[in-house]
Amino acid sequence: MSHGPALAPAAPSTRPPTAVGASRRTGWVMVLTGIVGWLASFQLTVDDWRLLRDPAHQPPCDISPVVSCGSVMSSPQGSLFGFPNMLLGLGAFAAVTALGIAVLSGARLHRRLWLTLDAGALVGVVFAHWLIGQSLYELNKLCPYCAVVWIATIALFWYVTLHCLEQEIVPVPRGVPEVVRDTHWMLLGAWYGIIVLLVLTRFRPYWSSLQ
């Protein structure tokens, strides 16, 4: 009895998975930056609300003529889109924290969601650096809670992007993910170092007066 030609085994699919997990490092970075960024945004929101009720209120972060939050929050840069910037942080960092908890719980997020998260973090980084420039060279102030948001936003963008590179969610030339992965902490440290150097040089007379 003829059984006909044997069927060849199906070739394994080369299509990338639609849902991608992440390392615990990525999950923890999302949770920690989300919580820290949210707390800083919340404190700024509380202080801004108190200033609206009482213009004479002095936020606890108003430490000196240079290190100050109140004047930054009341500036046009503090409400660039017609409402306080910190409200963006409250929503964005809450979402990041929730996604980070999901990742730590073993959830695999859709590739489009990773791309959306990375794109959102990129927008946040660009906005943060615009605010850094405005704070240092237009307002001549350094807002401590704002600086915390900057630090959290940069770290979030850096490690979400690293994850997207490693998982080939963001296409880049071969070898780039390995280079970035092997030097990720040095590159991030250099990034922070440049910002610290800008702050130190911009307010050098003030720092010198403290000695």
**DSSP assignment string, 135-146:** IIIII--B-HHH
Domain boundaries, the chain: 21-202
> What pLDDT is recorded for position 10?
46
- Identify the CATH class of 21-202: mainly alpha
pLDDT, residue 104, reads 95
Mean predicted lDDT score pLDDT of the chain: 89
- Strand segments, DSSP code E, in 40-177 are 109-110
The answer on pLDDT for 123 being more than 60 is yes
How far is the C-alpha of 204 from the C-alpha of 194, rounded, in Å? Answer: 15
Q: Give the Cα separation of 80 and 73 in Å (integer).
A: 10
Q: Is-contact 37 152, C-beta < 8 A?
A: yes
Q: Which stretches of the chain are assigned E, i.e. beta strand?
A: 19-20, 109-110
- Mean pLDDT of the 103-111 span: 93
Say what percent of the chain tops pLDDT 70. Answer: 91
Per residue in 150-188, pLDDT tens? 999 999 999 999 999 988 888 888 888 788 888 889 999
